[in-house]
Amino acid sequence: MAFWKPGTIAPGSSLDRAADRAPALVLTAAPTLKLPILAHRRGLLYAIEKFGFTILIGQTGSGKSTQLPQFLHEAGWTADGRQVAICEPRRIAATSLASRVATEAGWVLGEEVGYAIRFEELTSKRTCIKYLTDGMLFRELLLDPLLSRYSVVVVDEAHERSCYTDLLLSVLKKIQAIRKDLRVVVCSATLDADHLRDYFNSQPALHTGEDNATIISIEGRMYPVEIAYLEKPTENYITAAVTTVMEIHLTQPRGDILVFLTGKEEIDEVSSQLLEKSQELRSGSLELSIIPFHAALPPEEQLWAFQPARNRDARKVIVATNVAEASVTIEGIKYVVDSGLVKLRKFDVNQGIDVLTVCPVSKASATQRAGRAGRTSPGKCFRLYTEEDFDSLAPQTEPEICRTELTTVILQLKALGIDNVVKGFEFLDAPSSLLVERALEFLFALGALDESGRLTNDLGLKMAEMPVEPMMAKTLLESQEFGCSEEIVTIAAMTSVQNVFVGGNSDEINQILHRPFIATEGDHFTYLNVFNSFIKDGRSSAKWCAKHRLNFKALSRAINIRGQLVKYLKKFGVSLVSCGGDEQKVRKCLVSGYFKNVALMKDDGSYRSCRDGN
C-alpha cells in the first residue's frame, strides 16, 4: 500500500500540512511504572469533595477506571455501608475492571469489589466498589430513584455517548439537586468537557452561586504515534487491511498489530486471509498469531486478545471492532491499521426499526484508535483513508440517543415518573421529535401507554420492570393467555445469550451435527429444540455439548436467565403452561409482541415490511 505521513512531501500535498494536529496524536511519554492519575490523587479528591460534578479527562491507560474507585475507598467514601458505583457502557469492561481492581487490592472478586451486568451479578453485603453497566444502574433507579446506597457515581467512558450514559447524566443532575451529598465523576478520553460542564453548571451549586462542576485533565501514559495516510482512496478496505498487515509484518520491527474493522463478517474474512498468507511465509519468518476480537465472541475467547501469544516468537494480530477503541486496554500494540469505519445503530424511518449502518468514524474515534499504538512504546498508525478524508470527519460521534429507536428509553423514563419526556426532561442532547413520537406510538400500540400517554397498570408498569426489551416483555406477559408461557420463557432466555452453536453452520460437519435441532418453523423453534435437548440429555454435560458442537456455557447461562425470568412472571401472576407441541400458539404469542417486525419474503429473497398494511 502507498502511504505517506504528515511532515513529508506526498502527491498533492504541501510540506507539514498536519503540524497543527500533532499535539493530539503525539503525546508526552510518562513513566511506564507509574500511572498518571497517581500524581493527581490529592487534587482529584479535593475536587470531588468540593464540587457536585467532576469531569475527569484522561487518555485510556491513565488509570482512571481502576485507581479512582480505590482513591475514593481509601478517602472514606465507602464508610458506613455506602458504595461507589462505576458505570461502564460495555459488559466486558465492567467484569474485567472489577477483576483487575480485586487483584490489585488483594480482595476477593464478589466481596469488597463486585460487578453487575444484565442477568448476572457478583456482589455481597461487603461490596463497597461496584462496577456495572450503565443500563443496570438505570434499572436500579426504578427501585431506588435517589440511588441512596451510593456516595459517588462514576460514569466511565462517557465519550461513547450510549443512550443509558446520556440518560444517567441527566437523571444524576436531577438527583444531585436533591441529594447534595451525592458526588458524580464523569470520566472520558475525548468528551467535549466544556459542553458538559456548562450543562451541570446550569443548576444551583451546593451552597452559593458558585459553579457546581469542574474539569480535571490528566496527561496520558502515551508515547509518540506516527500517522500514515493513503495517498489515494482504496477501492476495497478489506484487501487494503490484509495487505497493510502483511507489509508491516515483513518490513517493521517486532510489535503487535491491532486492526479496526466494522463487524464480525469482516473480521472473519480478514482473519481467514491473514491465516492463509501467514502459511505462505518462508520458513524461519516470524509467525503471525491472528486473534479476532468482538462483542459476539464468548467471554473466554475475548480474553485471548489480552494474553501473550502462545508462541513467544509470534507477532499477535488482533482484528477487532471498536470494542478495542477505548473500553479495554490491550498491552503490546505497536501498530494500528484503521479502516476509518464503524458500524452504528441508526433508526430507519421507513422500516420503523434500528438498522446497523457502516459509517465513517469521528475524528475523536480516529485519534483514540491511533493512540492504541502508543501505550508501551512509540508506535505507528496506518489509516486506510486519505488525509482529506480525515479532515472531513465529524469531530465527535453522534450520540446514540439522537439516532436510534427510543422505545425502551421512553418506557423507562415513564416508569421513573417523567411523563412529559419532551418538556419535562433535560436531555444533554435532545433526540428528534420524530424519534420520540415513534416510540410513544409504538408503546401505545403495545398497550404499555394509555391514551393520555401514561403507563398502564396492567401492562406498562410490568413491562418497564422486566429485564428484556419491550417487545419481548409484552410477549412474556401475554404468554399465559396464549397457553405457551413455558415455551416463550425458554425462547426469551435463549435469545438473550450468544453463540449457542459453536462454529455456526459454516462447515459440513457442523451442519450435520446441528441438523437434529433445526426446525423449519424458524429460529425460535430451533432454540426450543436445543434447550429442551440440553435439559433432557445433556444438562451439566460439557461432553454432550462438545459432541453436538453446542456452547455449554451459553446454554448454562440460558438456564440461569430462564430462572430469573420465571421469577418475574410469578411476581406478575403469570402461570407457566405448556402448549404441548402446538406451534401455532407460540407463533401467535410472538406476533402479539413483535407485530411491528412482521414482513413478507419477496421472490428475490428480500423482505417487505407489513407495517401499516403495506
What's the pLDDT score for residue 515? Answer: 80
Provide the b/e sequence for 179-218 (b: ≥16 CB within 10 Å): beebbbbbbbbbbebeebbebbbeeebeeeeeebbbbbeb
pLDDT digits (tens, 9 = 90+) for 446-501: 999 999 999 998 899 999 999 999 999 999 999 999 999 999 999 999 999 988 88
Mean pLDDT of 64-71: 95
Which of 318, 317, 332 shows the shortest CA–CA distance to 249?
Answer: 317
Which sign, positive or negative, has the C-alpha torsion 367, 369, 375, 380?
A: negative
What's the pLDDT score for residue 480? Answer: 97
- Partners of 316 in beta bridges: 289
Mean pLDDT of 525-543: 87
Which of 82-86, 212-216, 223-227 is predicted most confidently? 82-86
Examine the pLDDT at 380 and tell me if it is beyond 90. yes
Confidence grade of residue 26 (pLDDT, cut at 50, 70, 90): very low
Confidence grade of residue 24 (pLDDT, cut at 50, 70, 90): very low
pLDDT digits (tens, 9 = 90+) for 563-572: 999 999 999 9
Q: Are 315 and 278 in contact (CB under 8 A)?
A: no
Q: Are 168 and 198 in contact (CB under 8 A)?
A: no
Separation in Å, CA 126 to CA 79, 112, 116, 182? 11, 5, 15, 21
Rg (CA), the chain: 25
What's the pLDDT score for residue 308? Answer: 85
Examine the pLDDT at 542 and tell me if it is beyond 90. no
Q: Are strands 3-4 and 225-230 parallel, antiparallel or unpaired?
A: antiparallel
pLDDT more than 90, % of the chain: 65
Q: Which three cell numbers stand for residue 240?
A: 487494503
pTM: 0.84
What's the pLDDT score for residue 13? Answer: 33
Q: Are 442 and 611 in contact (CB under 8 A)?
A: no
Angle at 539 between CA 536 and CA 542, to 5 degrees: 130
pLDDT digits (tens, 9 = 90+) for 180-210: 999 999 998 777 788 889 999 986 554 556 7
pLDDT digits (tens, 9 = 90+) for 391-442: 999 999 999 999 999 999 999 999 999 988 888 889 999 999 999 999 999 9
What's the pLDDT score for residue 271? Answer: 96
Confidence grade of residue 538 (pLDDT, cut at 50, 70, 90): low
Examine the pLDDT at 216 and tell me if it is beyond 50. yes
Q: Which three cell numbers stand for residue 549?
A: 458442537
Q: Which three cell numbers stand for residue 417?
A: 415518573
pLDDT more than 70, % of the chain: 91
Separation in Å, CA 272 to CA 259, 261, 298, 312, 358? 14, 14, 19, 22, 21
Examine the pLDDT at 614 and tell me if it is beyond 80. no
What's the pLDDT score for residue 2? Answer: 66
Output 601 or 158, whichever has higher pLDDT: 158
Confidence grade of residue 15 (pLDDT, cut at 50, 70, 90): very low
Cβ neighbour number for residue 422 with a 10 Å cutoff: 12
Confidence grade of residue 60 (pLDDT, cut at 50, 70, 90): confident
What's the pLDDT score for residue 6? Answer: 55
Mean pLDDT of 587-603: 90
The residue type at 307: Q
Output 27 or 583, whichever has higher pLDDT: 583
Confidence grade of residue 17 (pLDDT, cut at 50, 70, 90): very low
Which of the residue ranges 20-24, 120-124, 384-388, 464-468 would you say has the lowest mean pLDDT? 20-24
- Partners of 319 in beta bridges: 259, 292
Cβ neighbour number for residue 592 with a 10 Å cutoff: 19
CA–CA separation, 552 and 530 (whole Å): 11
What's the pLDDT score for residue 221? Answer: 59
Confidence grade of residue 327 (pLDDT, cut at 50, 70, 90): low
pLDDT digits (tens, 9 = 90+) for 124-167: 999 999 999 999 999 999 999 999 999 999 999 998 899 999 99
Output 59 or 120, whichever has higher pLDDT: 120
Q: What is the mean pLDDT of the chain?
A: 88
Mean pLDDT of 312-319: 91
Which of the residue ranges 144-148, 224-228, 330-334, 485-489 would you say has the lowest mean pLDDT? 330-334
Q: Are 608 and 600 in contact (CB under 8 A)?
A: yes
The residue type at 252: Q
pLDDT digits (tens, 9 = 90+) for 260-280: 999 999 999 999 999 999 888
| 404 HSE (CA, 13 A, CB side) | 20
CA–CA separation, 131 and 69 (whole Å): 10
Mean pLDDT of 333-362: 92
What's the pLDDT score for residue 3? Answer: 63
Examine the pLDDT at 21 and tell me if it is beyond 50. no
The residue type at 101: V
Output 58 or 490, whichever has higher pLDDT: 490
Examine the pLDDT at 606 and tell me if it is beyond 80. no
